[in-house]
Amino acid sequence: MLIDPVVVYRSARRAACDERAFVLTAVLISNEIVEHDGQFALCVGQREAAHAAHHLHQYDEERRRPRPTMPPLKLHAEAWRGALAYVLVLIGIAIVAGQHWFTADLFDVGAASRSGIGAGQWWRAWTALTLHWDLEHLFGNLGAGALFGYFAAQQLGNGRAWLLITLGAGIANLIEATVVSDGFVSAGASTAVFATVGLIAAHAWRQRRAFVLPGWRRIAPLIGGVMLLAWLGTAGEHTDVLSHGLGFLCGAALGALSVSKLGAAWLERIPQRWAAGIAIGVLALCWTLALR
């Protein structure tokens, strides 16, 4: 029981009193709710009345403030074009590899390996992204890569998004080749898929930092990206978890850089078509070096 109770809030709604009672309890002010003549009154001890009124006033002021909202995102049109190009490149190289159009086996000259990259064949870090061991491997990366690539292209534009994805995935393969065992061999676009997830997550996170949002809302994109990595990037008996994790980190680094003052200025100097051309040119150069 309260000593000399004083009413600090009154309402016809019990829920309104409960809400404010929770506020006072959180700051260790004893309180109780009493009902009288169809109304509810929130009471505190006389000695704590001024303190309680101050906290309730702050609470009401906070409720009156407009909640911060994110402005509508400016999405780039025709993001499907980049996703379609991604699908066509992977299918085209799968057909070439399956039909043995070249005298050299594409996996022998293009798969990422510690020995190959360590011997100076850096291009394997990129050619490996376009090779797949079987149809299940190919179709899984086609679907995930096209979907996430579409979202990345909506944020950054087709050319710039796929340029950053290509760079991030290749860098991840180069890093992996320095830490794996000598017999390690890798192929597949999954590194690029998770580089795309990291790119989207970090790009959205950095954009949100410009707005006054609660902490969890600012980092929500990163939380979502890490959850996707944990859910999709660790499943399966022969999953290359290290490659997926490095792809995510490299993509996230480029995504954060793309929103920074310096990075954004650098990207703005590269027209979308030029960026797309550079991405395709990197793959073409790497395959030329591999097949020479």
Residue type, 194: F
List the beta strands (DSSP E) in 53-189: 112-113, 185-186
- What is the 8-class DSSP label of residue 36? E
Distance separating alpha carbons of residues 96 and 25, to the nearest angstrom: 70
How much is the pLDDT for 36?
Answer: 82
For residue 40, the cross-strand partners are: 11, 35
How much is the pLDDT for 226?
Answer: 85
Residue 187 contacts residue 110 (beta carbons within 8 Å): yes
Residues in the chain with pLDDT values less than 70: 66-73, 208-218, 236-238
Contacts of residue 280, defined as CB under 8 A and 6 or more positions apart, other chains included, come to 85
In the CATH scheme, what architecture does the domain 5-64 have? 2-Layer Sandwich (3.30)
Tokens at 57, concatenated: 């006033």
Would you call 59 exposed, middle or buried from its count of C-beta atoms within 10 A (0-12, 13-18, 19+)?
A: middle
Residues of the chain with CATH 3.30.70.1530: 5-64
CA-CA-CA-CA dihedral for 192, 195, 197, 199, to nearest 10: -130
Distance separating alpha carbons of residues 133 and 110, to the nearest angstrom: 12
How much is the pLDDT for 85?
Answer: 96
Helix axis angle, 190-208 to 220-232, nearest 10°: 160
Helix axis angle, 241-259 to 261-268, nearest 10°: 90
Residues of the chain with CATH 1.20.1540.10: 80-291
- Biggest distance spanned by C-alpha atoms of the chain: 96
Question: How far lies 230's CA from each of 54, 170, 223, in Å?
Answer: 46, 21, 11
33-92 pLDDT per residue, tens: 999 888 999 999 988 999 999 999 988 887 877 665 666 667 888 999 999 999 999 999
- What is the 8-class DSSP label of residue 182? T
How much is the pLDDT for 145?
Answer: 95
218-220-225 Cα angle (round to 5): 130
pTM tops 0.85:
no
Domain 80-291 matching CATH 1.10.150.120: the answer reads: no
